[in-house]
């Protein structure tokens, strides 16, 4: 085994020992692109490297190890990595002139998709490591220090989570009162525009006991809100403590029992996998926040079919109706793609109609970006950039209007806010509404980590302003 980190074996003591052994201390700088799953992975990589003597730094110039955790979802995201690698090459050369060695690593979805090609295009890179092999990272870095160029992109047969050190109390504390917890990796849906099934591999659910143990650790370190992550998180399944097969709904009920955890969220969901137990969790669990990110991508049935989403616009509308019946104060968030190959003006109008029917509290919208290796990229009738631009503008104007209206409707209402950090101005704290909006709160309302009740007095562009409830 290349690994020498045993998660259960007092990783905290090992961490201290590692620091003691290297008084001058090596430093790692991690830059994260893409989705929350990458944010979570970056933290776990930092934890694994801490056990190997690397302290995190946010100053790239002082880093002995620079890691880019990359995203391949759209062309722009992937290209950003290469321009960053150009800058890092200069830095590496400068440090080299001072006799300091810098190991440069590329992790994440670009690493998985492009592998060896990265070494060719960016000679400053020493190691390329895919998302399923992060537990091997410390060993890979040691090999890179020995002068080897390494590409580790096999889908490992072992479970990376079992081999990664558990999140460390100190590190968790430094990250605040909210945390991500990946419960599922990969995706089996194969939407025709999307690279994720190729970069993250097949859908795998982490076992219940592993998830519960990690959530308990987070809570013990002061985390109040946990967001469960997966590209298709609502397809998560596993054997429950009662021996029955559980879905995400049952898992949420179990996690709601953990003392200290005040709020639960999950993201991202697929409309096809919203089952009754999950909808019931929204109805019965106060700790489950009334906010759901449920991407639909497009409104036209023809385009939905070409995207291989396996549902119609009306299926989605009916589903939202059921969810709202169970939890009337739930607010929706979504993702949209404009300009998928073959999308006509009439198809695009169907997307606009669906947005008007559903109404979103927040949404993300993108121009279709053909990705190498996906079926969509080979389709003939690609939509011209100018048309995509126009559609994106129209859609974003509508979504922004809905977002503003949603925030404005909260003025005068009382709500619970989780206090997350100090505000920019003295005497203030920033908290989160149940719908993920930043809320400015008077610091007398409570300490960071408290969930307090406030009244909204004003809705700004990006935040809500509050006053105490008398």
Judged by CB under 6 A, which of 66, 196, 215, 338 binds ligand SF4?
Answer: 196
- Reference 8, options 208, 161, 210, 166; nearest CA is 166
Closest CB to ligand SAH among residues 38, 232: 232
Residue 366 binds ligand SAH, judged by CB under 6 A: yes
At 48, is the secondary structure helix, strand, or coil?
A: helix
CA angle 248, 251, 255 (to 5 degrees): 135
Residue 270 binds ligand SF4, judged by CB under 6 A: yes
Residue 369 binds ligand SAH, judged by CB under 6 A: yes
Q: How far apart are CA 386 and CA 345, in angstroms?
A: 13
Position closest to ligand SAH via CB = 335
Residue 182 binds ligand SAH, judged by CB under 6 A: no
CB half-sphere exposure, 158, CA atoms < 13 A? 12
Contacts of 247 (CB under 8 A, 6+ apart): 234, 236, 237, 275, 277, 278
Give the start-end residues of each E strand in 130-224.
150-152, 178-182, 184-185, 204-205
**What residues numbered 50-79 form the site for ligand SAH, per CB under 6 A?**
73-74
Closest CB to ligand SF4 among residues 189, 305: 189
Closest CB to ligand SAH among residues 36, 463: 36
Residue 331 binds ligand SAH, judged by CB under 6 A: no
Residue 293 binds ligand SF4, judged by CB under 6 A: no
Question: Which x/- pattern over 297-316 shows residues binding ligand SAH (rule: CB under 6 A)?
Answer: x-------------------
Closest CB to ligand F3S among residues 268, 403: 268
Question: Which x/- pattern over 146-165 shows residues binding ligand SAH (rule: CB under 6 A)?
Answer: --------------------
Q: How far apart are CA 38 and CA 31, in angstroms?
A: 10
Select from ligand SF4, ligand SAH, ligand F3S, none the partner in contact with residue 29, using the beta carbon and a kind-dependent cut-off of 5 to 8 Å: none
- Which residues are 459's β-sheet partners? 464
- Reference 85, options 143, 31, 145; nearest CA is 31
**What residues numbered 205-234 form the site for ligand SAH, per CB under 6 A?**
231-232
User: 3-class secondary structure for 197-228?
Assistant: HHHCCCCEECCHHHHHHHHHHHHHCCCCEEEE
Residue 190 binds ligand SF4, judged by CB under 6 A: yes
Q: How far apart are CA 464 and CA 407, in angstroms?
A: 8
> What residues line the site for ligand SF4 (CB under 6 A)?
187, 189-191, 194, 196-197, 231-232, 270
């Amino acid at each position: 085994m290349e690994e020498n980190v045993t998660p259960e074996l007092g990783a905290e003591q090992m961490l201290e020992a590692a620091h003691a052994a290297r008084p001058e201390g090596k430093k790692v700088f991690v830059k994260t692109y893409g989705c929350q799953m990458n944010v979570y992975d970056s933290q776990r990589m930092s934890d694994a490297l801490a056990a190997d003597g690397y302290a995190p730094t946010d100053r790239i110039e002082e880093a002995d190890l620079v890691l880019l955790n990359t995203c391949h979802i759209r062309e722009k995201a992937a290209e950003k990595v290469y321009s960053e690698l150009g800058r890092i090459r200069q830095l590496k050369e400068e440090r080299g002139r001072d006799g300091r060695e810098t190991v440069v690593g590329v992790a994440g979805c670009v690493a998985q998709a492009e592998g060896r090609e990265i070494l060719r295009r960016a000679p400053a890179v020493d190691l390329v490591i895919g998302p399923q092999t992060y537990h091997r990272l410390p060993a890979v870095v040691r090999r890179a220090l020995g002068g080897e160029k390494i590409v580790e992109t096999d889908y490992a047969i072992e479970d990376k989570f079992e081999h990664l050190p558990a999140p460390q109390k100190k590190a968790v504390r430094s990250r605040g009162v909210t945390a991500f917890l990946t419960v599922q990796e990969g995706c089996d849906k194969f939407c025709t525009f999307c690279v994720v099934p190729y970069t993250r591999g097949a859908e795998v659910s982490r076992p219940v006991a592993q998830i519960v143990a990690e959530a308990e650790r987070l809570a013990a370190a002061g985390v109040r809100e946990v967001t469960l992550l997966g590209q298709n998180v609502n397809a998560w399944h596993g054997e429950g403590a009662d021996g029955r097969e559980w879905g995400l709904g049952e898992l949420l009920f179990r996690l709601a029992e953990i003392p200290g955890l005040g709020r639960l969220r999950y993201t991202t969901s697929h409309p096809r996998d919203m089952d009754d137990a999950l909808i019931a969790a929204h109805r019965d669990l106060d700790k489950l926040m009334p906010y759901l990110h449920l991407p639909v991508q497009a409104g036209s049935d023809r385009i939905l079919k070409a995207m291989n989403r396996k549902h119609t616009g009306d299926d989605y509308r009916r589903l939202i109706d059921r969810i709202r019946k169970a939890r009337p104060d739930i607010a929706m968030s979504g993702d949209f793609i404009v300009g998928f190959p073959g999308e006509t003006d009439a198809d695009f109008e169907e997307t606009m109609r669906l947005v008007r029917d559903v109404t979103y509290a927040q949404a993300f919208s993108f121009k279709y970006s053909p990705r190498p290796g996906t079926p969509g990229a080979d389709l003939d009738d690609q939509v011209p950039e100018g048309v995509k631009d126009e559609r994106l503008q129209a859609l974003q104007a509508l979504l922004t209007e809905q977002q503003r209206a949603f925030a404005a409707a909260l003025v005068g209402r009382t709500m619970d806010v989780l206090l997350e950090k100090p505000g920019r101005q003295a005497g203030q704290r920033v908290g989160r509404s149940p719908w993920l909006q930043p809320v400015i709160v008077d610091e007398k309302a409570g300490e960071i980590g408290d969930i307090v009740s406030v009244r909204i007095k004003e809705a700004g562009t990006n935040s809500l302003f509050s006053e105490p409830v008398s």
